[in-house]
């Protein structure tokens, strides 16, 4: 960009902020924080333009500041430049767009993997929950929002995208190629561990799950099953509405969750006694890979004392985002409302705390750094490589079984 162009961009930016600032001056109160912020922002832009070591690219500076502004709010809020938003729209409107099966967020300044759908491109490429993406498609995630990362990961079926991955306990990134695919809804994994204990494992909480689970619970009761375990580990997808419907199958009374935001009308979701189909004991398994709708389900169970929630505190991601387009063709993916547990705490900020805290087997506990893997190494120590087999070696599952089998455990 020429110096004249830089000056023009800078002048326009300052003019916009001055115009916005003037509007605030005319109607502001003495403690108007917005006006003060605009003044500071304009001053920073001016200092960058005048005093930076080289002539700065003001478009890059402005875009970077907006990215940082959104990231300072929460991990899921994103800014998309006009070019990124145009690409985002095309992929969103194209029913043939393929993806990688990854649920992402940000931690430590980088994009991280929360969970991986079974049989997805992410699973096939060996991506695991807890992996840090240093780069996606050649772009560092240090300056990337979750929305931008997903934009890069999605694309035409059969096409590839390269990610640079930092594993837990490793210092050197590993380059991995992901081949995008059209995904199908993952199946619920059903397992009987005891004659009267049924385990339901949820890779996701997609729309329609509730009807399926209602039928499975009714059939299980006819077959002599008296206790149920809901495994919500590695569950990070699905609408919150499905979690609320699912909770109503188990919780006979009380508040399930509340949605509220600055511009969103408060909505209180409560149990509906007529929808309850399971009155026997229930335990829920969660860990740091549990996020979104699954957190709302687990929170409703634990807050209403309907059953034990066993494992580790969930990630904290239950919120609603809104797409807001801007005049220059860019867009914001902005968090506009959070879900709160019945105690009034934000799930986004607090996650869900188990009633029985049990540390999951850490991947690096099993990784000795040797090429040879011990014969008794269980796949469950490597989340993301496929369904985790339930066994006594799984400490979270083992503790849930103990609680369900305890003599004091009675039906609600």
Contacts for 264-272: CB closer than 8 Å, 24+ residues apart: 264/320, 264/336, 264/337, 269/244, 271/247, 271/300, 271/304, 272/248
Q: Give me the pLDDT at residue 34, please.
A: 66
Q: Give me the pLDDT at residue 49, please.
A: 80
Give the end-to-end CA distance of the chain in Å, rounded to a whole number: 69
How many C-beta atoms surround the C-beta of residue 134 within 10 A? 17
Calculate the CA 379 to chain-centre distance.
Answer: 23
CB 368 within 8 A of CB 362: no
CB 9 within 8 A of CB 16: no
* CATH match of 82-179 with 2.30.42.10: yes
* CB burial string 193-230: b at 16+ within 10 A, e below: beebbbbbbbbbbbeebbeebbebbeebbeeebebbbb
Q: Tell me which H or E stretch contains 398.
A: helix 395-405
How many C-beta atoms surround the C-beta of residue 28 within 10 A? 14
Nearest to 105 by CA among 363, 238, 264, 290: 290
Alpha helices in 161-254 (DSSP H): 209-222, 240-247
Q: pTM here?
A: 0.82
Q: What is the pLDDT of residues 126-171, one digit of tens each?
A: 999 999 999 999 999 988 899 999 999 999 999 999 999 998 888 8
Q: Give me the pLDDT at residue 23, please.
A: 44
> Token digits for 379?
């796949």
3-state secondary structure (DSSP) of residue 225: coil
Q: What is the pLDDT of residues 223-241, one digit of tens each?
A: 999 999 999 999 999 999 9
How many C-beta atoms surround the C-beta of residue 292 within 10 A? 30
Architecture per CATH, 189-405 = Alpha-Beta Complex (3.90)
Q: Which strands sit side by side in the sheet containing 308-311, from one edge to the other?
A: 189-194, 197-201, 227-231, 282-286, 308-311, 356-357
Nearest to 287 by CA among 171, 380, 172, 174: 380
3-state secondary structure (DSSP) of residue 126: coil
Q: Enumerate residue ranges in the chain where pLDDT < 50.
A: 1, 5-12, 14-30, 363-386, 409-412
């Amino acid at each position: 960009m020429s110096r004249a162009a830089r000056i023009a961009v800078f002048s326009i930016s300052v003019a916009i902020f001055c115009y916005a600032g003037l509007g605030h001056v005319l109607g502001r109160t003495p403690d108007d924080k917005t006006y003060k912020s605009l003044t500071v922002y304009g001053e920073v832009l001016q200092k960058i333009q005048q005093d930076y070591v080289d002539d700065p690219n003001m478009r890059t500076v402005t875009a970077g500041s907006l990215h940082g502004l959104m990231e300072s709010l929460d991990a899921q809020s994103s800014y998309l430049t006009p070019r990124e938003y145009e690409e985002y729209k095309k992929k969103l409107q194209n029913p043939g767009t393929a993806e990688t099966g990854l649920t992402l967020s940000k931690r430590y300044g980088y994009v991280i993997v929360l969970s991986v759908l079974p049989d997805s491109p992410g699973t096939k490429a060996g991506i695991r929950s807890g992996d840090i993406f240093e780069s996606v498609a050649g772009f560092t995630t240090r300056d990337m929002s979750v929305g931008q990362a997903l934009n890069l990961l999605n694309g035409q079926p059969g096409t590839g995208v390269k990610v640079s991955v930092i594993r837990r306990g490793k210092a050197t990134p590993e380059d991995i190629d992901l081949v995008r695919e059209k995904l199908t809804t993952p199946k619920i994994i059903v397992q009987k561990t005891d004659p009267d204990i049924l385990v339901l494992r949820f890779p996701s909480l997609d729309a329609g799950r509730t009807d399926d689970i209602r039928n499975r619970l009714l059939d299980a009761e006819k077959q002599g099953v008296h206790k149920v375990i809901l495994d919500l580990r590695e569950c990070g997808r699905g609408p919150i509405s499905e979690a609320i419907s699912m909770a109503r199958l188990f919780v006979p009374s009380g508040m399930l969750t509340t949605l509220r935001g600055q511009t969103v009308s408060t909505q209180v979701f409560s149990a509906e006694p007529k929808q309850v189909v399971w009155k026997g004991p229930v335990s829920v398994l969660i860990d740091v890979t549990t996020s979104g709708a699954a957190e709302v389900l687990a929170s409703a169970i634990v807050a209403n004392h309907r059953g034990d929630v066993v494992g580790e505190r969930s990630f904290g991601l239950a919120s609603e985002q809104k797409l807001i387009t801007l005049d220059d063709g860019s867009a914001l993916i902005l968090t506009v409302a959070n879900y709160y547990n019945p105690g009034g705490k934000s799930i986004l900020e607090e996650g869900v705390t188990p009633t029985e805290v049990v540390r999951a087997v850490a991947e690096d506990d099993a990784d000795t750094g040797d090429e040879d893997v011990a014969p008794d190494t269980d796949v469950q120590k490597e989340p993301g490589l496929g369904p985790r087999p339930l066994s006594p070696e799984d400490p979270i599952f083992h503790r849930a079984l103990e609680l369900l089998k305890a003599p004091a455990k009675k039906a609600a």
